[in-house]
Structure 1
Amino acid sequence: MSFNDACCTLPPIRSDYTPTGRVFKIGDLEVYETADTTPKKVLICAYDIFGVHPNIRQVSDILALAGFRVVIPDFFRGNKLDMANFDRSTIMAFVAEFGTWSNTVKPDFEKVIEHYKTQENITAFGVFGFCWGGRISIDASTEVPDISASALVHPSMWTNDDAETIKSATLLLPTKDEADMTQFYEILQKNLGADKTAHHRFDDMHHGFCGARGDFTDLVNRQRVNEAINLMKDFFRKNVV
């Protein structure tokens, strides 16, 4: 399983970004929704292990400007990673308690989709995820038929075998810290077709550059984030239908 050292050592970056969307509840689940509620294409964001960090909302707010409604469910239900004991074992214990797909995330994921389908008659859904959220995006693309496209941004906890299970169009955006995803990509091409997958490796970026570990005040980091957003924008426009 791909789980690089940077994922277990790099802390989140402080950010003073002010989100432009709103927070509401679907049942007992808190959800962040971007400002424009008119788009009929919904993208569900699965963040990294640091939760709903301001960087995650900033990327979502920018992506939404391309004509999407982006929603960020609080899958961790307000629980935070213990930063005083931040290592691989702490991360895995946190994920096991609050972030397993089948036990905790999938029911909330399906609850969000059901809300938009029944309350707003929306049928076009995609998912994108950072680090841990990349793993969740794989699971959603495998088990949730409503998901038509996904983007895996510096994903963690994946194997090449996972590519065999994915059923929706998939964009891969690894960094220099992730294992080579060429084989993963080739499997997707074989199973989904060349027009339903894409792969761009950010060789000058670290794991987490687009999420909570990204320093958006750094010019190059900010440029690469915008590149990643544009790649997602184009991919989702084409495949979330």
Structure 2
Amino acid sequence: MSTMNKACCTIKPAQSDYKPQGTYEDFASIKSYVTGPKDAKKVLLCIYDIFGFWPTTQQGADLLADCLQVRVIMPDFLRDHPWPLEGFPPRDEEEGQRLGKWFDTIASIPDRLGDIEKVVADLKGQGVEKIGLYGFCWGGKIVSLSGDKGTPFVGVAQAHPAFVTPEDAKKVTVPLAFFPSKDEPKNDVDAYWANFTQAHPDLVDQSRFHHYTEMFHGFGAARANLENQDNYFAFQDLYTRLCDFFKPLLA
């Protein structure tokens, strides 16, 4: 791909065969993948996609922790019940019905928004000064809803988000990074960004938009294939853009 961000030297090269560098800790009684300086007072929360903890998603967290010198925390909001990678998209009607029930229960967005509040309260109680938020797919939708009035986050970022709803963009009140793929409906993508820029002209300079029109949904998280050259360069570019977006906000 020819979309490589000019700041590509700011993050380490990604690896196709990767062992996550972080550890696991509990925040608000939720098991979480944690990477980066243990004493950092600035935190970046990650909401993974529907497949849960995955080496490519964790590698992205490690890259951001190194680039930003913050703690990156990825809570297991699905409580060890992610959706199986081989079951998406659903292979038959029965599996589709199970996925719908899963979204209504284990992956309930209102319930997970409540989890975020608890994790943030725990972090603030430990003296954390600034918190950013980024997410993928289903996590991207939660990110969009987490940036509304009164948000505790200094900025929010979505990569190949699911359920893109243009009206949500009007309610975001902090700088936004919006990085959709070719698989999100283009009309919704364009309307979402237009609504954000029109509703919040004061935030545009700090915000970022890049449409990965040649990349599939999931290229920056669990569905990434870093042995594919195009996916590798897009993955590297995505995390560079995320680093550049959050760096001034978490300074």
Residue 24 of structure 2: aligned partner: 23
Residue 109 of structure 2: aligned partner: 101
Equivalent pair of 1:148/1:240 in contact (CA under 8 Å): yes
Pairs within 5 Å for 1:82-231: 86=88, 87=90, 88-103=96-111, 105-119=112-126, 121-142=127-148, 145-180=151-186, 181-193=189-201, 194-231=204-241
Residue 77 of structure 1: aligned partner: 79
Other structure's SS at 2:219 match: coil
Equivalent pair of 2:28/2:122 in contact (CA under 8 Å): no
Equivalent pair of 1:185/1:198 in contact (CA under 8 Å): no
Residue 68 of structure 1: aligned partner: 70
Name the Cα RMSD after superposition: 1.9
Residue 9 of structure 2: aligned partner: none
Whole-angstrom CA distance in 2 between matches of 1:172 and 1:186:
12
Deviations 1:146-205 (A, max 9, x none): 112111100001211111121221111011111222221121112222213221011221
| Residue 27 to residue 127, structure 1, CA distance change in 2 (3 Å) | closer
Equivalent pair of 2:164/2:184 in contact (CA under 8 Å): no
Matching residue's letter, 1:205: M
Where does structure 2 lack aligned partners over 5 or more consecutive residues?
Answer: 1-15, 91-95
**Greater Cα shift, 150-159 or 77-86:** 77-86
| Residue 201 to residue 50, structure 1, CA distance change in 2 (3 Å) | same
Deviations 1:100-157 (A, max 9, x none): 2322x123212221122111x1121111111011001012112662112111100001
Equivalent pair of 1:24/1:31 in contact (CA under 8 Å): yes
| Residue 216 to residue 167, structure 1, CA distance change in 2 (3 Å) | same
User: How many percent identity over aligned positions?
Assistant: 29
Matching residue's letter, 1:234: D
Deviations 1:192-219 (A, max 9, x none): 2221322101122111000111101222
Whole-angstrom CA distance in 2 between matches of 1:27 and 1:150:
21
Matching residue's letter, 2:78: F
Whole-angstrom CA distance in 1 between matches of 2:200 and 2:70:
24
- Answering whether residue 47 of structure 2 is matched by residue 39 of structure 1, we say no
Whole-angstrom CA distance in 1 between matches of 2:148 and 2:193:
15
Where does structure 1 lack aligned partners over 5 or more consecutive residues?
Answer: 1-14
Whole-angstrom CA distance in 2 between matches of 1:207 and 1:27:
30
1:94 Cα offset (Å): 1.2
Residue 49 of structure 2: aligned partner: 48
Q: How many residues align?
A: 225
1:89 Cα offset (Å): 3.6
Structure-2-length-normalised TM-score: 0.83
Whole-angstrom CA distance in 2 between matches of 1:229 and 1:110:
25
Matching residue's letter, 1:77: R
Matching residue's letter, 2:178: L
Whole-angstrom CA distance in 1 between matches of 2:158 and 2:85:
25
Equivalent pair of 1:44/1:128 in contact (CA under 8 Å): yes
